[in-house]
């Protein structure tokens, strides 16, 4: 069962503070696009804007004094804090690959900027050839369709975990899971079913594209995937397996309020951070401070995020 009783509507209503918007220059859009080459791919980290998450979601396990200190460091206030949305764009030959699509018009209005930022690079949605889905929450898959329900990336093939598909499309979902998740399920079905004819379902460990392997990091959702891009030092695209580069590096034992299976998510996060620190992997986090690139460095029983 999920820890939070907040619904999607409550998250949106509670997530639009002017203080949070002012905390991010340009309303959350990065002034320059971070680029790198890795594993034969040219990678650009695009911004989809930002979201504002309530304190109860970001820090359900923290004491009040801990909450206040961390929320201030994140640029928030007592109610919550902004988090960035970083979407990797990978190019190699004719392939143009997105890892997740952002919110589109289906979540908070401070997000949904992916297409505009694609166009700023001289690309259109028609140029995208593949979309790798970490999971089907609305801030990750909401731009699968436009406001009219038409697929936004008409030439793209999609990849998602079989467990993710089975979880959200379960005909008995509303009977098995609490009402707080029903809105998320409707959104996930909207997104997944819209591209069902071009969707490949994969298992953890599968090579989803040459040089890109699906890594199972379940718990945030039952089918949550991270993606490893092979190179002499691999790049691990983490999705929401570790939602904050501040909170969950420094407190890997704390839960995140929107994890569907909280203890399973905590286990996945510990495994991911331990492996990343041991192997000195490069990591890219979806909601980390832009551009979300860095490494995990051990600090006692916890970690420190080292931008890179």
Q: What whole-number distance in Å separates Cα of residue 138 and Cα of residue 152?
A: 14
Tokens standing for residue 83: 């988090």
Angle at 22 between CA 61 and CA 123, to 5 degrees: 100
Specify if 90 maps to a domain: yes
What is the percent of the chain with per-residue pLDDT over 70, rounded to a whole number? 90
Q: What whole-number distance in Å separates Cα of residue 160 and Cα of residue 170?
A: 16
Specify if 3 maps to a domain: no
| CA torsion through residues 275, 277, 278, 280, sign | positive
Burial of 212 from C-beta contacts in 10 A (0-12 / 13-18 / 19+):
buried
Q: Which domain holds residue 160?
A: 8-307
Specify if 177 maps to a domain: yes
Specify if 103 maps to a domain: yes
Residue 97 pLDDT > 70, yes or no?
yes
> For position 220, what pLDDT does the model report?
98
Q: What whole-number distance in Å separates Cα of residue 35 and Cα of residue 240?
A: 21
Query: For 233-258, what is the mean pLDDT?
Result: 98
| CA torsion through residues 238, 57, 254, 75, sign | positive
Specify if 1 maps to a domain: no
Write the CATH number for 126.
Answer: 3.60.15.10
> For position 56, what pLDDT does the model report?
96
Give the predicted TM-score (pTM) of the model: 0.91
Specify if 84 maps to a domain: yes
Query: For 83-99, what is the mean pLDDT?
Result: 98
Specify if 2 maps to a domain: no
Q: How many structural domains compose the chain?
A: 1
Residue 12 pLDDT > 70, yes or no?
no
Specify if 171 maps to a domain: yes
> For position 32, what pLDDT does the model report?
82
- Encode pLDDT of 119-158 as tens digits: 999 999 999 999 999 999 999 999 999 989 999 999 999 9
Q: What whole-number distance in Å separates Cα of residue 89 and Cα of residue 291?
A: 12
């Amino acid at each position: 069962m999920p820890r939070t009783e907040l619904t999607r509507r409550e998250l949106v209503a509670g997530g639009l503070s002017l203080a949070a918007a002012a905390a991010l220059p340009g309303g959350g859009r990065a002034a320059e696009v971070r680029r790198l080459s890795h594993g034969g791919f040219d990678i650009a980290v695009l911004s989809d804007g930002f979201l504002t998450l309530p304190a109860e979601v970001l820090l359900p396990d923290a004491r009040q004094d801990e909450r206040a200190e961390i929320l201030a460091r994140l640029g928030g206030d007592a109610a919550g804090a902004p988090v960035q949305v970083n979407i990797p764009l990978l190019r190699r030959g004719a392939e143009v690959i997105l890892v997740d699509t952002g919110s589109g018009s289906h979540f908070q209005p401070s997000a949904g900027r992916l297409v505009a930022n694609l166009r700023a690079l001289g690309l259109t949605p028609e140029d995208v050839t593949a979309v790798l889905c970490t999971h089907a929450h609305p801030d990750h898959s909401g731009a699968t369709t436009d406001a009219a329900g038409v697929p936004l990336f008409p030439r793209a093939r999609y990849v998602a975990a079989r467990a993710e598909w089975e979880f959200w499309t379960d005909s008995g979902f509303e009977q098995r899971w609490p009402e707080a998740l029903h809105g998320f399920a409707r959104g996930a079905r909207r997104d997944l079913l819209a591209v069902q004819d071009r969707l490949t379902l994969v298992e953890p460990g599968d090579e989803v594209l040459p040089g890109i392997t699906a890594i199972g990091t379940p718990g945030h959702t039952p089918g949550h995937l991270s993606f490893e891009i092979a190179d002499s030092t691999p790049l691990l695209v983490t999705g929401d397996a570790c939602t904050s580069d501040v909170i969950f590096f420094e407190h890997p034992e704390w839960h995140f309020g929107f994890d569907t299976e909280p203890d399973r998510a905590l286990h996945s996060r510990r495994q991911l951070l331990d492996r990343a620190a041991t192997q000195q992997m490069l990591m890219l986090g979806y909601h980390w401070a832009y551009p979300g690139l860095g490494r995990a460095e051990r600090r006692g029983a916890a970690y420190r995020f080292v931008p890179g």
